[in-house]
Chains A and B, each alone.
Chain A
Amino acid sequence: MQLAKVLGTVVATQKHAALEGVRLLLIQPHDHHGFPMGPALVAADALQAGEGDTVEWVTGREAALTLPDTFTPVDVAVVTIVDHYFGDDEAGGIRQ
């Protein structure tokens, strides 16, 4: 589980039938300072997260378990929309 910022949404018309109805977000993983960690990822979203939201995400088998149909071919998914989290001292200890 890691923190990430939602950069936007991803739309694909031509896709595997199992991905029909699955909302896709472009997310940028980051650490507790807000520094980007690794490349941006495309994540399945069952929570209606939006651009600018901070989210927590999971990888692997757990990703599909967040969706109504738990046998969906996704490997990254959003599990919570973060209200605030411990950040660093420059931000007063609390981010967002």
Chain B
Amino acid sequence: MILCRVLGNSVSTVKHPCYEGHKVLVVQPVASDGESALGASFVSVDAVQAGIGDLVLCAREGNTARQILGNDEDPFHSVVLAVVDMIDRGGELTLGPGPKAEQS
């Protein structure tokens, strides 16, 4: 699982039938400070009602995604499976939802 920040969402009309009713989020992998971007953004299916600005956990592996979202036959590859409340690195806290300015 990787830490990501939710940037926004992606809307499609034409899609594989298994994607109907699912929300797709644009997410940016970030370091454990919750701020520094790591690598390219990607899209991920939401399983926990995450929103823009949330710090989330994403799995980028098909079997995990299928267990959470569908059955053995559905082509899911990436899923948002948790909204992070807090990361504690030896007393140094990274808080989850929202940009840092709102947390002080």
Residues of A within 8 A of B (CB): 1-3, 29, 31-32, 37, 46-49, 56, 58-63, 65-66, 70, 77, 79-87, 93
Which residues of chain B are near A85, meaning CB under 8 Å? 8-11, 26, 43
Cross-chain contact B40 with A58 (CB below 8 angstroms): no
Interface centre among A1, A47, A62, A77 (most CB of B within 10 A): A1
B interface residues, how many (CB within 8 angstroms): 29
- Bitwise, B54-89 to A at CB < 8 A (1) or not (0) is 000000001001000000011111100000000000
Given the known inter-chain contacts A65-B75, A86-B7, please indicate yes or no for A80 contacting B14, CB distance below 8 A: yes
Complex CA gap A66/B16 in Å reads: 7
A24 to chain B, nearest CB (A): 17
Residues of B within 8 A of A (CB): 7-16, 19, 24, 26, 28, 40-45, 52, 62, 65, 73-78
Which residues of chain A are near B28, meaning CB under 8 Å? 32
**The residue from B11, B26, B45, B62 contacting A32, defined by CB atoms under 8 A apart:** B26
A1-B44, A31-B41, A85-B10 given. 20 additional CB < 8 A pairs? A1-B45, A1-B77, A2-B43, A29-B40, A32-B7, A32-B8, A32-B26, A46-B16, A47-B14, A47-B16, A48-B14, A56-B24, A58-B76, A60-B62, A65-B75, A79-B19, A81-B12, A82-B12, A85-B8, A86-B7
Which residues of chain B are near A3, meaning CB under 8 Å? 10, 26, 42-43
